[in-house]
Amino acid sequence: MKNLSCIVVDDEQDAAGNLVKILRTYCPEMHILEVLNDPHLAEERINALRPKVLFLDIEMPGKTGLEIARKFQDMNYYIVFHTGFSKHAINAIKHNAFDFLLKPTTAEDLLKTMARIKRSIRQAQDLAAETKTNAIVVKSGIHYRQVPVNEILMVEAEGSYSNLVLKSGERILVSRNLKSVMTSLEGHQFVRVHNSRIVNANEVALWKLAENACVLTNGEEFRISVRRKDEVRDFLIIP
C-alpha cells in the first residue's frame, strides 16, 4: 500500500526503538518519517510532515499523548496509542483513537493494528470513488440507501455516527463517522465548518466570516469554528 507513513512519539527510547524495529521488520511498506522522544516537538513535526499514522505514548513528561491527540482528533490521522498502562484505554477511546497497543508491543498485536488501518484506508478509497457519481450510499439501520448529493443540506456528527440532514427536513442516521462521510463528499461542494458539522456550500445563503458563521438557505445559522475558518476561506478561494 502506497503513501503509508507514520511518526512515533515516545519519551522511552527503548519502547520507541522496539516499535520501530517491529515496523521495519514486519511492515516494510510503512515509511517512518520521524521518531520523537520529546513530546513538545510533536505538534510542529506532525503539521510539517503530515503522516498517515500517529503512534503516541500517553504518559510523557510535560505533554501527554492525549493532549497531542486532542490537537489532531478531528483530522485525517490514524491515532494509535502506545502505552504501558491499560488503564488509559478508556481515555484513548474518548480521544477517537483508532487503536491501542499495550507495551511491550508484539509483532502480532502490531500486525493486527496495521491490518485494521489498511482495511480502513481501502474502505475510504472505495467511498471516495463514490464522488464520481452524484449520490452516496449509506447504511441506515439494516438497510443501505442511495442518497442524491444535491439533496443533502448538511451532515451533523452524532457520536461515532452521522446524521444526514436533507433539504426536505428528513434526517438519516448513518453508521459512519463525520470524517468517513466527508471522504465520500470530497469532490462535491461540501465544506467542514466545525468538528461536528459539514455543510453543502450550494445551500449556504450567506457566509458571515467576520462573525465566524454561515446561514443556510433554510434560515438556520451555524458557527464556523476558528480552527476551520482558514479551511473555509481556502474552499471559497478568499485570500
Would you state the pLDDT for residue 75?
75
Across 82-98, b (16+ Cβ under 10 Å) vs e yields bbeeeebeebbeebbbb
Would you state the pLDDT for residue 1?
65
Distance, in Å, from the CA atom of 132 to the CA atom of 151, rounded to the nearest integer, reads: 16
Would you state the pLDDT for residue 131?
52
- Nearest one of 6, 197, 27, 186 to 98, comparing CA atoms: 6
Same domain, 84 and 138: no
Would you state the pLDDT for residue 156?
97
Would you state the pLDDT for residue 183?
87
Average pLDDT by stretches of 10, the chain with 239 residues: 88 96 95 96 94 94 91 83 74 70 93 91 69 75 85 94 95 91 87 96 94 95 93 83
Distance, in Å, from the CA atom of 75 to the CA atom of 48, rounded to the nearest integer, reads: 14
Same domain, 223 and 198: yes
Would you state the pLDDT for residue 205?
95
Domain residues for the domain of 227 are 134-235
Same domain, 42 and 106: yes
Distance, in Å, from the CA atom of 162 to the CA atom of 175, rounded to the nearest integer, reads: 7
**β 143-148/135-140 pair status:** antiparallel
Strand partners, 81: 56, 100
Would you state the pLDDT for residue 137?
83
CATH code assigned at 107: 3.40.50.2300
DSSP string, the chain: --S-EEEEE-S-HHHHHHHHHHHHHH-TT-EEEEEES-GGGHHHHHHHH--SEEEE-S--SSS-HHHHHHHHTTSS-EEEEEES-GGGHHHHHHTT-SEEEESSP-HHHHHHHHHHHHHHHHHHHHHHHGGGSSEEEEEETTEEEEEEGGGEEEEEEETTEEEEEETTS-EEEESS-HHHHHHHHBTBSEEEEETTEEEEGGGEEEEEGGGTEEEETTS-EEEPPHHHHHHHHHHTT--
Would you state the pLDDT for residue 235?
87
Domain boundary among 76, 99, 128: 128
Same domain, 38 and 61: yes
**β 197-200/190-194 pair status:** antiparallel
Distance, in Å, from the CA atom of 141 to the CA atom of 113, rounded to the nearest integer, reads: 27
Same domain, 140 and 117: no
Domain boundary among 82, 102, 128: 128
What are the residues whose beta carbons fall under 8 Å from the beta carbon of 209, sequence distance 6 or more?
224, 229, 232, 233, 238
Domain boundary among 68, 101, 128: 128
* Residue 83, C-alpha cell as written in the block: 502505552
Would you state the pLDDT for residue 186?
83
Same domain, 100 and 150: no
Is residue 63 within 8 Å of residue 71, measured between CB atoms? no
